[in-house]
Amino acid sequence: MTIFLILAPYGIFTFLMLVTSATTSVFAAAAACLATIAIDIAYGRSVKVLAAGSAIVFVMIGLTLLFFDPQLGTLAVKLSVDVGVFVISLGSLLLRRPFTLQYGIESVPAEIAAMPGFLQANYIITAAWTAAALLMMVSNLVLLYVPGLPLWSSLAVAFAARNSAIYFTKWYPAHCRTKHAQPSQALSHPH
C-alpha cells in the first residue's frame, strides 16, 4: 500500500499527460501529493519530504504553464518533473536524510530501524531511486534534442527505470535481512 501512495501522484500525472493538458496533469498530481500528505497526517505519520517536495515541483510547473509559458511542450514538462524528483532524491542524500528513511522507519519495528545497517540500506535504496530519476531525465533530454527518436523509447526507459527501482526497493531489505540473519534464524525463517 505504501508504494502505491508514494507513486500515485506520478501515475496520475503520467496518465493525465496522455489524455489532457499538461497544466491539468501537474495540478492533479499536486492534489494527489497533498492527499497523500493528508493521509499520512490522518494516520499520525510524518509529512514525507518526497510528497511535499513533489507537490511543490508540480505546483511550480503548473504556475509556469499558467503564467509564463503556456506552450511548454510535453517533453519539457516531463523533463521538469524528472529534474524535480532527481533534485529531491539527490538532495535528501546530500543532506544525509535519504527520503526513503521516513517510509522505512514507519514501516518496520523499532528494533529493526535501530539496527546499524538500516540507515545504510536506506541510502542504497534512495540512491537506486536517484539513479532511476536520472535515467528518466536523460531519456527525456535525449528525446528533446533528438526529435527523430520514437516516443516509446523514452517511455520504455521510464518504465524500466521506475519498475527496477520498485523491485529493488522490495528486494534489497529482504536481501539484507537474509544476509545478516544468523545461520539458525535463516534456516528457521526462509524467505
What's residue 137's pLDDT? 93
Average pLDDT rounded to a whole number, residues 157-164: 90
Cβ atoms of 11 and 28 within 8 Å: the answer is no
- The domains of the chain are located at 2-180
What's residue 188's pLDDT? 40
Cβ atoms of 52 and 30 within 8 Å: the answer is no
More confident residue, 111 or 34: 34
Q: Which three cell numbers stand for residue 145?
A: 534534442
Which tens digit of pLDDT belongs to each residue from 68-107? 998 888 889 999 999 999 999 999 999 999 999 999 999 8
Q: What percent of the chain has pLDDT over 90?
A: 63
User: What number of other Cβ atoms are within 10 A of residue 21's Cβ?
Assistant: 14
Please state which of the ranges 23-27, 50-54, 91-95, 113-117 shows the lowest mean pLDDT. 113-117
The contacts of residue 16 (CB under 8 Å, 6+ apart) are: 24, 25, 28, 29
Secondary structure class of 26 (helix, strand, coil): helix
- Read out DSSP for 51-116? HHHHHHHHHHHHHHHHHT-TT--HHHHHHHHHHHHHHHHHHHHHTT--THHHHHHHHS-HHHHTSH
On average, the pLDDT of the chain sits at: 89
Which tens digit of pLDDT belongs to each residue from 118-147? 999 999 999 999 999 999 999 989 988 887
Please state which of the ranges 74-78, 168-172, 186-190 shows the lowest mean pLDDT. 186-190
Of 127, 134, 128, give the one whose Cα is nearest residue 96: 127
pLDDT at 184 over 50: no
